[in-house]
Amino acid sequence: MKWSPLFLAIFFFFSCGEGSKEITDNDLKLEIKRMYEHHIQDLKNLDHTSLMRHYANTNDHVLFGDGEYWGNYETVSNIWENFTQNTREILEWKISNEHIHLLSESSASYLMEYYNSRVDSAGDTLNIRGSVSYGLKKIDDDWRIVTTNVSHFPVQ
């Protein structure tokens, strides 16, 4: 059987179109990294409202810190509100040793080390390093933080 050039061209066109619509693991990881870049920018801007858009306001939101259960979404919001109100300026916020593990197209874990230097409302400079692990879920096409486990260590 001979295939006509027109049929082959149409077949090729449609088969290529389907593959280009698939979201790759790299695409999903890039979405997560971009979300967190915005998270850091909202921190630097000391914008509590924008910052909280990165967190899912769900009944099962969980926060652990420094080896203990701290609370839920409301606790996260209160911590960030206190942070933004009692910080004059973020001098530096760096992340390193990032690891994103996709569990599905709509869930992932995101782990990293961080360092920040900031001036508090009293004018004192605080330098903190630590690590944070996030559980992420894609909700309404946006990645949201649903779990957090964070550690903090003062740096002299």
Q: Does residue 5 fall inside a structural domain?
A: no
Residue 1 lies in a domain: no
Exposed, middle or buried, 80 (CB in 10 Å: 0-12/13-18/19+)?
buried
Q: Report the alpha-carbon distance of residue 57 to residue 34 in Å, rounded.
A: 20
CATH of the domain at 112: 3.10.450.50
Provide the CB-side half-sphere exposure for 64 (13 A, CA). Answer: 11
Task: Provide the H-helix boundaries in the chain.
Answer: 5-21, 25-44, 48-52, 73-85
Helix, strand, or coil here: 61?
Answer: coil
Cβ atoms of 87 and 66 closer than 8 Å: no
Look up the pTM and report it: 0.84
Cβ(139)–Cβ(56) below 8 Å: yes
pLDDT exceeds cutoff 80 at 8: no
Place of tokens 């082959």: 8
pLDDT band at 14 (very low <50, low <70, confident <90, very high): low
**Domain count within the chain:** 1
- The confidence score (pLDDT) of residue 23 equals 84
Q: Within a domain: residue 6?
A: no
Interatomic CA distance for residues 141 and 138, integer angstroms: 6
> Is 63 inside a domain boundary?
yes
pLDDT of 46-99, one tens digit each?
A: 999 999 999 999 999 999 999 999 999 999 999 999 999 999 999 999 999 999
Structural domain for 104, as ranges: 25-154
Q: Is residue 74 part of a domain?
A: yes
Whether 104 has a pLDDT exceeding 60, the answer reads yes
Residue-level pLDDT at 16: 54
What SS3 state is found at 55? strand
In a domain, 96, yes or no: yes
